[in-house]
Chains A and B, each alone.
Chain A
């Protein structure tokens, strides 16, 4: 009896040891990036694998923040926040409205449109990138934020699907009761559905924030004035292998660029995990 308990404990310890080792290997690159941002530029690649610098060089952050071509990273961060916040508000508002239509209302041709939406969900952006570029070019929208922001106001299929799945878990009796009390569809939507789907909207908001913040291809093809660049594009330019000499500053700005993502992740990870699990399983 005693022996088997000891063996169980032993087994458990080994399990945890393996897990800890594996986790360390997996997050090593991220730790390495942060530690490199605190090393002296000339020593980043001498003993590249050491994680703890002798002296912490916080001035990398000050030097990096100065940016390039006279534009500081303050401008790039501001641009990123503007694009990300407007696009996120647009995609969540429109997706929630559309999701209610698909989940609760009966109308002719609903199934056809639903299938269209599911197909759009599987269609990668890269397929429509070229014709969309030509279209927006003809509208004179190149080098503005419009091509990056406006499309989000027509709903994002993945979010529509996610919020729809959530609405389906809300009892229909609530809608019926409100209808009997004389509530219109708009009333049912704003007073009953919206307050109840807040968790799903939160999940979508977090995803939207990630995607917009990390979006690289959109700004790459649509923006040409450096003053308008978001962080992702600025960072690429800042880090081009031919021009960079200040490695410490480059790692500092790389680290800083993922701070907003980290912050949101640590505050809201419960929503993300739930969101992924439900959206993945109910399809």
Chain B
């Protein structure tokens, strides 16, 4: 899934491995490497236990369950591909949830990233009070994951909430934001976009790393701010953009709490995000097999997306070290 990282790690380690010494010292070397092996595995043993017991086994078990009918009582009953067949051919709600999730991830992620980049660019230009702006703008992200914010959002966009109150005091028409299937999903997208803070901080750090001399040189050549943005800033920022995109796409596909608390999937399933539907299948209808099959479909989709992003990255991600 992440070939780039693998390669980097390998390279890194080749430097560490020293050429093997010949002759007498070999015996000592062998004992030493045994000691290292024991120590190494000793230190990472918590990870290994957790990896096998809490990640690998559950994933394989989930794969098995996806071919069964299981309601937590009795034993899982093998039903072959039935769950998958039902999902793709009969379950209308599955497709609705899929559509909503793709729309959500496809719109909300770019909005958050573009927003984060624009604000980071603005903050990078300002010298005074940057700390204060940065702190205040990061605040929504800090509290964003909490249930209190989702509850607040529900009231903010409610019929008599602040948004409508502001609109009517400005003489504009009000709207049932959460009651209208066309606008309900947008309230969730706005909530996601509002928490642009951590992406902004990463972009800001990336901008700080671009040497000032590049801009000075290009302005001597007569490049304006817009041209500088496209020939210097954007290319040098692509590694950071790659990192942000991958993390946000995974997060976007896996969103749960906002749709659970703000809209509870409604109205008429217009905000039924995939994980919310999966949660309902598992913990409200106790269809563990079906929900596991849903989880696997999502895992495959995320893996494909992540692989596509990484595969495409050599075409648009620019690593400074390579160009020199």
- The contact size tier of chain A is 35 or more
Whether B234 sits at the interface, judged by CB under 8 Å, is no
Q: Is B58 an interface residue (CB 8 A)?
A: yes
Q: B36 to A106, Cβ gap below 8 A?
A: yes
Residue of B nearest to A270 (CB): B131
- Indicate whether A210 sits within 8 Å of B55 (C-beta atoms), given known contacts A16-B129, A131-B65, A250-B151: no
Closest CB in chain B relative to A89 CB, distance in Å? 14
Let me know if A1 is at the binding interface, CB within 8 A: no
- How far apart are the CA atoms of A280 and B9 in the complex, in Å? 17
- CB pair A107–B36 under 8 Å, yes or no, is yes
**B192 contacts the other chain (CB 8 A):** no
Q: Please report which residues of chain A, range 227-242, place their CB below 8 angstroms from some CB of chain B when the two chains form the complex.
A: 232-233, 235-236, 239, 241
Q: Once the chains bind, are A281 and B240 in contact (CB under 8 Å)?
A: yes
Interface string of B32-75 (1 = CB under 8 A from A): 01001101111110111111011101110110010000101000
Q: Is the CB of B261 within 8 A of A236?
A: yes
* Inter-subunit contact A281/B1 (CB<8 Å): no
Check if A130 is an interface residue, CB within 8 A of chain B. yes
Q: Write the nearest CB–CB distance from A93 to chain B, whole angstroms.
A: 9
* Residues in chain A near residue B140, CB distance under 8 A: 26-27, 29-30
Does A2 make an interface contact (CB < 8 A)? no
Q: A107-B39, A134-B288, A155-B46 are in contact. Are A119 and B209 (CB under 8 A)?
A: no
Given known pairs A48-B164, A105-B40, A130-B288, the reply for A19 and B51 (CB within 8 Å) is no
Bound-state Cα–Cα, A217 to B273, Å: 14
Contact across chains for B146 and A27 when beta carbons are under 8 A apart: no
Which listed segment binds B: A56-64, A65-73, A196-204, A261-269? Answer: A261-269
> Hey, which chain A residues are within 8 Å of B16, CB to CB?
106
Nearest chain A CB to B137 CB, angstrom units: 6
Q: How far is the CB of A100 from chain B (nearest CB, A)?
A: 6
Q: Are A115 and B9 in contact (CB under 8 A)?
A: yes
Q: Are A49 and B148 in contact (CB under 8 A)?
A: no
Contact status A120-B55, CB under 8 Å? yes
Given A49-B162, A107-B39, A281-B240, A94-B46 contact (CB < 8 Å)? yes
The interface stretch among B19-27, B83-91, B223-231, B292-300 is B292-300
Residue B95 is within 8 A (CB to CB) of chain A in the complex: no
Mask: chain A, 237-281; 1 = CB below 8 Å from B; 0 = not = 001010000010011001101100110010001001100111011
Residues of A within 8 A of B204 (CB): 277
Query: Does B147 have its Cβ within 8 Å of any Cβ on chain A?
Result: yes
Residues in B neighbouring A273, C-beta threshold 8 A: 134, 138, 201
Residue pair A151, B50 in contact (C-beta under 8 Å): yes
Map CB proximity to A onto B135-162 as digits: 1 under 8 Å, 0 otherwise: 1111110110111110111111010111
Question: Beyond A128-B54, A214-B146, is A32–B152 a contact (Cβ under 8 Å)?
Answer: yes
Bound Cα distance A247, B292 (Å)? 39
| Contacting residues of chain B (247-295) with chain A, CB-CB under 8 angstroms | 250-251, 253-254, 256-257, 260-261, 275, 278-279, 282-283, 288, 291-292, 295
Annotate B112-136 by CB proximity to A: 1 below 8 A, 0 otherwise: 0000000100110110110001111
Within the assembled complex, what's the spacing in Å between the Cα atoms of A272 and B215?
A: 29
A-B pairs under 8 A by CB, number: 267
* Residues in chain A near residue B261, CB distance under 8 A: 236
Q: B13 an interface residue at 8 Å Cβ cutoff?
A: yes
Query: Beyond A127-B298, A130-B295, is A217–B257 a contact (Cβ under 8 Å)?
Result: yes
Q: Does residue A33 face the partner (Cβ distance < 8 Å to B)? A: yes
Query: What string of 1s and 0s marks CB contacts (under 8 Å) between A100-116 and chain B?
Result: 11100111101101111
Pick the residue among B133, B145, B244 that contacts A210 (CB under 8 A): B145
**Per-residue contact bits, chain A 120-154, to B (CB 8 Å; 1 contact, 0 not):** 10111011111111110100000000000001011
- The answer, among B13, B253, B260, for a CB contact under 8 Å with A111, is B13
- Within the complex, which residue of B152, B169, B253 is in contact with A254, where a contact is CB–CB below 8 Å? B152
Across the two chains, which residue of chain A brings its CB closest to B200? A276
Query: Which of B53, B143, B160, B256 is close to A48, meaning CB atoms less than 8 Å apart?
Result: B160
**A102 nearest in chain B by CB position:** B44
26 contacts between A and B (CB under 8 A): A26-B137, A29-B194, A45-B165, A94-B47, A101-B42, A102-B44, A110-B40, A113-B47, A115-B6, A119-B1, A124-B253, A126-B278, A127-B299, A128-B55, A130-B291, A131-B61, A131-B65, A134-B72, A134-B288, A154-B53, A160-B47, A235-B148, A257-B146, A258-B143, A280-B244, A281-B205
* Interface residues of A, Cβ cutoff 8 Å to B: 15-16, 18-19, 22-23, 26-27, 29-30, 32-33, 36, 45-49, 94, 97-98, 100-102, 105-108, 110-111, 113-120, 122-124, 126-135, 137, 151, 153-155, 160, 185, 189, 210-211, 213-214, 216-217, 221, 232-233, 235-236, 239, 241, 247, 250-251, 254-255, 257-258, 261-262, 265, 269, 272-273, 276-278, 280-281, 283
